[in-house]
Every structure is written in C-alpha cells, then in structure tokens.
Structure 1
Amino acid sequence: MQLDDDGEPVADLDSGAQIDKDAFYVVFDHAFGLPGQFVPAFKPLAIQTDEKHRARAASDAIYELLEIYFPAALQPGSDTLARLLVCVPFLIGKVMVARAIMAGPRPEQERPAEFRRSGQGGATGNPATDWLPPEDEAA
C-alpha cells in the first residue's frame, strides 16, 4: 500500500488480493513468539527450530481453512485476522491451564491427611475412607 505524506492511502487495495501462505506463516510464527516477548516464562511457546516443519504444516492448514470459510481474514489489513490473532494467545493460555490441571496432584494427594486412608483397610467408621479398598487390594 502506498501512502501520501499525510499517511493516507494513495491507491486502493486490490479487493481480490489476499496474503499468500508465506506471509501468513510469518504472522503465524510471530503470534506464537509474541507472549514470550512480554513474559519470559512464555518464551517456550514460540515455534522452536525442531517444530518449524510441523508449524508450517499447521499454518498452511489454517490458511486453507480460512480460504474456504473466512476468506476476508486473508485480506491485507483484515479485521478478521486481527481478531483471530487476539484469540490465539488467550487459547494458548487456556490450554496451558488445562494441561497444568491434568498434570496436577491426584485426588488422593489432594485430600487432607485426616481424610486419607488410615491404613487399616476395611470399615473404619470414617465415611471419607470407608469407600477405599483394603490396602492389599489397592495395588
């Protein structure tokens, strides 16, 4: 796009023009690296050297889906693409939270000590532990 001295466009964009897969990949790559530029702990979210091939395949697949379902997202200066790029860091953050939850302590580890198995196996009079199988069956 050409701009005049005031920053206004001098020529209209070709309404049929869209960014190509290479340009889309550059945006895709930068979108994953952006969170790490603000918070160092997020640097591993950036596309790593050994992930480039898979990242390019994912980027191309997303590009092709956008071509079919949201072609306006591929227009230069697209509001749709800008909105999608806002969503990516949020979604990545939620995936990280879900992974942390799934990798977290197991229910047995979360229970306070007084509610954990007493070690006697069988009915102890404590409803919090009576549902557990005897120690010799628990393995």
Structure 2
Amino acid sequence: MKKLLILVLISFTQSVFSQREIRRAPEPQKDLNGNIIPPNEIDIYNPVGIDVKPEFPGGTQKFHQFIDENYKKPNKKPTPQGKVFATFIIEINGSLSDIKILRDIGYGTGEELVRVLKLSPKWKPGKLNHKEVRTLYSLVFPVQQ
C-alpha cells in the first residue's frame, strides 16, 4: 500500500511540476533602421538555395572597393593582420541587418567592419521563385598593413 501511495505521489508531483511548452507570439523582427519586418517575410535563405543571389550595386568588385575605401585601419603597434569573419542579412528592401562578427583579430577591427557595413548602400535582394527574400551573406575581410 505504501508503494502504491508513493507511486501516485511521484506521478502527481511529476505532472504538476513538469515543464510545459508555452508558445508566445514571436517578437517582431526589425532591420537596422528599426522598421518592422512582416512575419511572413521572416525566413532567411542561404544564397546557395535561391534563384537570384543578392548583389551589391555595381557587383562584388565595387563591394570590396567600398569596404577598402571606408575601412579605417587601427593605428596600433604591432599592426594587426589577419581575417575578420562576418555575417549579415540582406533584407527584402536591400538594407543590411543582424550584422555579426564571427571571428575578430582584436584592436577594434570587428567594430570597424560593422561600422562600414552599416554605411553600405542598399543591395539588390536575392530572389526565390521571382519573389524577393531575406538572404544570409558571409564575408571574410582581410586586415593587412
């Protein structure tokens, strides 16, 4: 009888204190300018799986030229050298959001790359099935003397 009572008590306690999934409405996503992105346009696509890849105005060469012209190298001794890895999302309207530095070499190089990317003009967004979609973009930026 004691065993049965203990088993019922354990079952009751487990059901009362078990974790229940509480579904909340997702927080609205915002781009860098604070504009709310509509919920049906929240999916983020990899450039490999879409029909038309996003493009900087003028192409990849202009993008690298834009970064080189606007990036200010730190005046630290010894001069830092290496690569800064970053990702960002190209929104449907062409703006950049969710800029993240994945690997930084220090000396403020990552923060400077974020600053430059925020200055970027609007991109041509990627397309999937003739519809503009949000696209994840990865960047490897070499920091040299």
TM-score, normalised to structure 2's length?
A: 0.26
The structure in which a higher percent of residues are helix is 1
Indicate the structure whose relative CO is greater, using CA pairs within 8 Å and at least 6 residues apart: 2
TM normalised by structure 1 equals 0.27
- Pair member with larger Rg: 1
